Structure 1
Amino acid sequence: MYPEIALASASPRRRELLQQIAVPFTIVQVDVDESMQGAEAPEAYVTRLAKAKAKAGAEKLHYGLPVLGADTIVVVDQHILGKPVDQADFSRMMQLLSGRCHQVLTAVALVSRSKSSGCCVSTEVCFRSLSPADIAAYWQTGEPHDKAGGYGIQGQGGRFVHKINGSYSAVVGLPLSETDMLLRNWQEQA
């Protein structure tokens, strides 16, 4: 049903999501500079990273397969929350998210030698109010250490989410409906 692709991501969550919809894929490791360029808007930033990852994977494979790249960021008050550098940074992020809503942006790009396509999905996620004890206990689980915004909705961080408006799978790391359509359109245009 789907074309075979390469996934330019080390994320186990993205692998699981592709497996969930039965996409045949191989993994290609890429190293992309994730620094912001000037006063880049959050959507432009995450879209650029997804495209850069897909392009780096395609170049590494000498354009042998279409390559899917993706990136996810958490945005509050137009500020991007990356992965926490330490416990203090994590606590700062959780205090920003506590008792309010924020955006999770996930961009997806599909690249080959002759074409590229992609999309960016925005999901609103609302947290309940968090106590200092909630924040400290969550840090101790180890889960927040490598997560954008310091939490994983599919793990223990999901207990803080009281409402979501949009794509759950996009918050996890790959919007399934949009990825399905991207792959179907790709195949139709082949």
Structure 2
Amino acid sequence: MRDANGRDTRLALDLALTVRHDGHGGVADDLTEPAGLTAWVRAHADDLPDAAAQPADEDTLAAVLRLRAAIRALFARAVRPGEPSPADAARLLPVPEALRRLNEAAARRPTVPVLEWADGGAPVLRRRAAAGGDDLVAALAQAAIGFLASPDRERLRACHAPRCVRYFLKEHPRQEWCKPSCGNRARVARHHERHRRPA
């Protein structure tokens, strides 16, 4: 089982990655309707078990999209001095607005500290939702806060391969793109650019 930071990192990134390139030079959005959000939540049922049990509605979708815009704006801030994702560059929320949205969404689900102490182990503090307070938007906001406040934030990068709009965690010092196919597209684009220039 992953620790809280691992879950936070994955949920926050996966929500941001519901905005992606469509393979044809445009941007696609996996969350354009409640059914898309329902499918996404069910794919993350291990981290969002209460939310996965019920289908999303229009209000929940709207709240998640507002939260995603805030998260992507804060991701753009986190990758500075690098450039943000091209999908965000022209429409970033101001940071104070993004922070306000994120914190208000997180407050929709109060959490309580819980002490766990296995035989032979050290006591561990965990945070759990208060009874009756499990809300999808709050869970996602709290995961994003956990990620942005963790050391993983320092590894966050925007992929600048042609047509890519993804954020990723840099796994090794020479990594420049989110996946090998993006690296290939970037090298091909550079090759074509060099051969187009007059000698």
Q: Same fold (TM over 0.5)?
A: no
Whose helix proportion is higher, 1 or 2?
A: 2
In the superposition, the TM-score normalised over structure 1's length comes to: 0.23
Larger Rg: 2
Whose strand proportion is higher, 1 or 2?
A: 1
